[in-house]
């Protein structure tokens, strides 16, 4: 009888503990299930409350190839020079068809420059780079900055560690062609840890990277980015996302990178930082996109 009573008490306590599991533990378990679906690819996920700094993460101990997600930190580095007065938004950059780098979320600046040389302002380059994910625009911004090392030094100077920018889209594309995806991933060029990306986003939304005007400008450009639709696809009505996605090509049925990182704002003003980096994955684009949407929905539900 005593044994039965003890067993019953233990079961009740275990059930009570399970029911009382903290929200973060529940979210962690749910995110882990999605990451398990992504195997043999590696799905890195981080969700953070920027107010407290508390976070949950899955597969954090590696660098992930940023691809076009690097356009947000590059834009921040450019805007920091605008804040310092060494650049102006209306400064013009001369682009010729030789400067065109293929790739954008929508027909954008590169398509226009293909038809003939034109002068483009820094402001126009920022819009095309972040909102339309135009590769010609971001490589032009990197040239204005003086290269990826300048952007990395800016991030490091602001306490953003674990994120590095080495080269533009054109050079990275040539590296893929010459060495292959495995070599690019192993090199860790243009990459970030989950914590590095979360630190960038947290400091951006807190106004620790840029002036108030430049902060709002960059967040506005990120909010206006709606293609590709990944984490955003899972958010309920009324939730807002300021994000930047990134996508690599596929080689031998595996995609080196499929990414989204951003700041979710709920209707009540609460915020969550979400970083989702998928590496070396055989999943179809449709399948992977569903995982991103599921993560967006889970994050919103946890707020």
CA distance 70 to 151: 10
Query: What letters, b where the CB count within 10 A reaches 16 and e where it falls short, cover 206-237?
Result: eeebbeeebbebbbebbbebeebbbbbbbbee
**What token pair was written down for 157?**
């100077």
CA distance 56 to 29: 10
Q: Is 171 a catalytic residue?
A: yes
CA distance 261 to 65: 12
Nearest to 140 by CA among 116, 113, 176: 113
Which alpha helices (H) appear in the chain, and where do they start and end?
2-19, 23-37, 71-84, 109-114, 122-126, 135-145, 148-157, 169-179, 181-187, 194-205, 212-223, 285-302
**Contact status, residue 234 vs residue 293, Cβ threshold 8 Å:** yes
**What token pair was written down for 3?**
């044994």
Q: Is 294 a catalytic residue?
A: no
Q: Catalytic one among 55, 57, 68, 199?
A: 68
Q: Catalytic one among 111, 171, 187, 251?
A: 171
CA distance 138 to 121: 13
Catalytic (active-site) positions: 68, 171
């Amino acid at each position: 009888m005593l044994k039965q009573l003890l067993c019953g008490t233990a079961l009740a306590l275990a059930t009570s503990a399970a029911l009382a599991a903290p929200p973060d533990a529940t979210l962690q378990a749910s995110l882990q299930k999605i990451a398990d679906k992504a195997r043999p690819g590696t799905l890195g996920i981080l969700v953070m409350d920027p107010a407290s700094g508390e976070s949950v993460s899955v597969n954090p101990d590696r660098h992930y190839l940023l691809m076009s997600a690097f356009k947000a930190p590059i834009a921040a580095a450019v805007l920091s020079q605008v804040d310092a007065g060494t650049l102006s938004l209306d400064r013009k950059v001369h682009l010729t068809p030789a400067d065109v780098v293929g790739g954008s979320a929508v027909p954008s600046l590169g398509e226009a420059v293909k038809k003939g040389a034109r002068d483009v302002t820094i402001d126009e380059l920022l819009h095309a780079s972040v909102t339309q994910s135009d590769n010609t625009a971001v490589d032009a911004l990197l040239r204005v900055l003086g290269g990826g090392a300048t952007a990395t030094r800016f991030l490091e100077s602001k306490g953003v560690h674990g994120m590095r920018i080495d080269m533009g889209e054109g050079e990275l594309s040539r590296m893929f062609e010459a060495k292959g995806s495995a070599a690019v991933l192993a090199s860790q060029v243009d990459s970030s840890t989950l914590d590095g990306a979360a630190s960038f986003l947290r400091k951006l939304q807190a106004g620790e990277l840029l002036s108030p005007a430049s902060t709002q400008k960059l967040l506005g450009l990120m909010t206006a980015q709606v293609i590709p639709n990944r984490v955003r696809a899972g958010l309920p009505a009324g939730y807002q996302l300021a994000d930047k996605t990134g996508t690599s090509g596929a080689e031998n049925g595996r995609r080196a990178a499929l990414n989204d990182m951003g700041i979710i704002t709920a209707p009540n003003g609460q915020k969550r930082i979400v970083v989702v980096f998928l590496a070396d994955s055989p999943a179809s684009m449709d399948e992977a996109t569903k995982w991103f949407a599921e993560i967006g929905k889970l994050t919103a539900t946890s707020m």
